[in-house]
Structure 1
Amino acid sequence: MAETGPVSGYGGSNPVQTTTKKHSDLGKNDFLKLLVTQLRFQDPMNPMEDKEFIAQMAQFSSLEEMQNLSKTLSQQADLGQLSQASSLIGKTVAVRTEDTHFAGQVVEARRMDGEIKLMVKPEGTTDGTLVPVQIQQIEQIA
């Protein structure tokens, strides 16, 4: 069986980072509320010009498309990591965590706690124990 060296960079090029919405970020609902409020309270003697309204609608459309693109890119990154993890199914790997170092066979890949984990059956176990492992914790693939 051929052995490979450490894979510290394996999977590290596409880290999936979840971001939480900051309270100061404006979403499309906030943008629409501002626009409706602006229209409601505009001076009837000096209404908003068509150009301004069209510009604001274009900004709204751009905001919505950027949000859709961000969601799509996040999904693509997830698929890339799942593909990397799936390529290790059936392989024997050496794993190092903060607490332990062990070898075992990768039996499946799944999403847990918002990230892709490999389920590894440690060598010498017969009780069906599976240990969830992050791709970055794999030292060697045999």
Structure 2
Amino acid sequence: MAISFSPAVGSDTLSQSSNIGIQDFLKILTAQLNNQDPLKPVDNQEFVAQIAQFANLEQSRQLNVKIDELVGVQSAVQSVGLMGRTVDVNQNGFLVSGKITAIDMSSGTPALTITTSSGFLNNITLSQIVTVRS
């Protein structure tokens, strides 16, 4: 049975685009309140809506962090399941067959070692695996 893997795409887009923190938001809100027109103060509903929007943004950011952690754990579990299996990997445009004999998790992402008939392939990623066989 052949299994193909595809890498996750765009996993760090949200974390790069939402660098505003609670302290930044409070500074902006304080400046807005200090500089408002005394004859036309900020509407309470608008004020509450801004706070709710920021709370939603913060929850989305935290959810993205948790999803990134989950993807990392899923990659680790997937790698352990491949231990001892024969795989075909794309190595510089060539298909190379071998058996997965080691997994290095020190970098936070799985780096596989594959034993082939001509030696070892180190630092193979899951995205390089083309086919998995028993």
TM-score (norm 2): 0.73
| Count of residues paired in the alignment | 129
1:92 alignment partner AA: T
Runs of 4+ in 1 over 6 A off after TM superposition: none
Number of the residue aligned with 1:48: 42
- Following superposition, the deviation at residue 33 of structure 1 comes to 3.2
Matched residue type, 1:21: Q
Unmatched tracts of structure 2, length 5 or more: none
**How does 1:79-90 map onto structure 2 within 5 Å?**
79-90=73-84
Give the alignment of 1:1-142 within 5 angstroms: 4-5=1-2, 7-8=3-4, 10=5, 12=6, 15=8, 17-19=11-13, 21-22=16-17, 27-29=20-22, 30-106=24-100, 107-110=102-105, 112=107, 115-125=109-119, 129-138=120-129, 139-142=131-134
Q: Which protein has the bigger helix share?
A: 2
User: Under a length normalisation based on structure 1, what TM-score does the superposition of the two structures give?
Assistant: 0.70
Q: Is the 8 A contact 1:122 1:131 kept in 2?
A: no
CA deviation map 1:30-85 (0-9, x unaligned): 43332222112112333223222211111111111111111111221222222111
C-alpha RMSD of matched pairs (Å): 2.8
Give distance in 1, aligned partners of 2:98 and 2:75.
20
SS of 1:121's partner is strand
Unaligned runs of 5+ in 1: none
